[in-house]
Structure 1
Amino acid sequence: MLHSLYEFWTSAAGNTPLEWVAVLTGFACVWLAARESIWNFPVAIISCALFIVVYYRAQLYSDSMLQVFFILMGVYGWYEWLYGGARKSALVVTRTRRWEWVAVVLGIAAFTLGFGYYLQHHTDAALPHWDSFTTAGSMGAQYLLTRKRLENWLIWIVVDIIYVPILWYKDLYAVSGLYAVYLVLAVYGYVEWRRAARLAASPVPLTSA
């Protein structure tokens, strides 16, 4: 009994120092994104590079490859937040356009079915379709985040709810806990960005001469 408790505690504390560094930098980048800080992108790039190794070791191959996408989107988002607005100005928070919703939903469905089938029949991946769905959802959410679309946080909420039990099942207890924190941060980010979107959409009050 004591031995089992010891094994659980050491696993819950993080399987490796690499996992803990990935967890801490992952928390930092999501917190910075919720605060609309441009520094979320360089921190995210470092975190994703570490998670490539963490997920690969856990046989979550789709999520491992997803980190490469995140790194590329991190570079793209860094530029977009600085110069992606009108006349190369900084982006402001806006609502997701209808065509973007259609593209994101269809993309998530196609990736989940297609890549899930591949993982199931050609690899030893654990939970291939759930793995593919969380990967596709993360890709869609990350694209919307790089464009500062408010609803990116709604997709993150769904993805994080699914990630928590998957990562726990794979004995990545520290990372599972991180995604539980991500869930809270996603709700916080949605509230903060909704306030920012309202401010950006409101007319600038005229000042007296």
Structure 2
Amino acid sequence: MLHSLYEFWTSAAGNSPLEWVAVITGFACVWLAARESLWNFPVAIFSCLLFAVVYFRGKLYSDSILQGFFILMSIYGWYEWLHGGKQDTALVVTRTRPWEWVVVVVGVVVFTLGFGYYLQHHTDAAVPHWDSFTTAGSLAAQYLLTRKRLENWLIWIVVDLIYVPILWYKQLYPTSGLYAVYLILAAYGYVEWRRAARAAAATETPVV
């Protein structure tokens, strides 16, 4: 038992400094997002650049490509949080629209099956379909986050539950641990944003 723990800590400590910096900045950007801070976007852009390299080295190609989309969506989200509300005002937290749920579900299924098939037959991807599913789920959650939809945190919880064992399997121990922490942050974010959504809805309710 002690020998196994020693091997784990030795392996984790031996992971690249690049991964550790990506982990720390990744934690920071999610915590900032849960706090509705605009700083989550510049921190996310920097973290995604690092994770693109980390995932590529781990042969998680779909997740590596995903970081590029995250960077673009972070730029978009930065603008939306500032100007995406009514009359060019800052966005407030709202519920996901029914049509958005349809787009999210269909998009995740199609992407998972299609890109998973491509990775399985044309690359040496470690876990092609799971890799594709977490990628699709992450894209869906990130889009909802850029629009300040409350339920983005529920999707992140599902995605994080899958990421933890996948990254552990690939011996990316610090990153796997980060996604375990993400689970806690996602739950925290959901509670905080639900409170904010209720406050925003109460403010918009007309007085009779």
TM, length-normalised to structure 2 = 0.95
Does 65-74 or 12-21 show the bigger shift?
A: 12-21
Q: Provide Cα deviations, 1:4-56, integer angstroms capped at 9, x if missing partner.
A: 65442122235110000000000000000000000000000000000000000
Distance 2:204 2:72 in 1: 35
1:32 aligns with 2:32: yes
SS in 2 for 1:202: helix
SS in 2 for 1:13: helix
Read off the aligned partner of 1:83 and give its amino acid letter.
H
Distance 1:75 1:203 in 2: 28
Equivalence for 2:114? 114
SS in 2 for 1:125: coil
CA distance change for structure 1 residues 200 and 131 in 2, over 3 Å: closer, same or farther? same
Aligned-CA RMSD value: 1.6
Equivalence for 1:185? 185
Q: CA deviation at 1:93?
A: 0.0
1:160 aligns with 2:144: no
Read off the aligned partner of 2:148 and give its amino acid letter.
K
Q: CA deviation at 1:154?
A: 0.3
Distance 1:143 1:80 in 2: 11
Read off the aligned partner of 1:44 and give its amino acid letter.
A
Which residues of 2 match residues 1-209 of structure 1 at below 5 A? 6-13=6-13, 15-203=15-203
SS in 1 for 2:203: coil
Read off the aligned partner of 1:58 and give its amino acid letter.
G
Gaps of 5+ in 1: none
CA distance change for structure 1 residues 141 and 205 in 2, over 3 Å: closer, same or farther? closer
Distance 2:2 2:197 in 1: 52
Distance 2:205 2:74 in 1: 35
Gaps of 5+ in 2: none
- Conservation of the 8 A alpha-carbon contact between 1:138 and 1:156: yes
Read off the aligned partner of 2:142 and give its amino acid letter.
Q
Distance 1:205 1:137 in 2: 33
- Conservation of the 8 A alpha-carbon contact between 1:167 and 1:173: yes
- Conservation of the 8 A alpha-carbon contact between 1:14 and 1:172: no
Read off the aligned partner of 1:119 and give its amino acid letter.
L
Read off the aligned partner of 1:64 and give its amino acid letter.
S
SS in 2 for 1:171: coil
**Quick one: percent identity of the two aligned structures?**
81
Read off the aligned partner of 2:30 and give its amino acid letter.
V
- Conservation of the 8 A alpha-carbon contact between 1:14 and 1:20: no
CA distance change for structure 1 residues 17 and 94 in 2, over 3 Å: closer, same or farther? same
CA distance change for structure 1 residues 155 and 117 in 2, over 3 Å: closer, same or farther? same
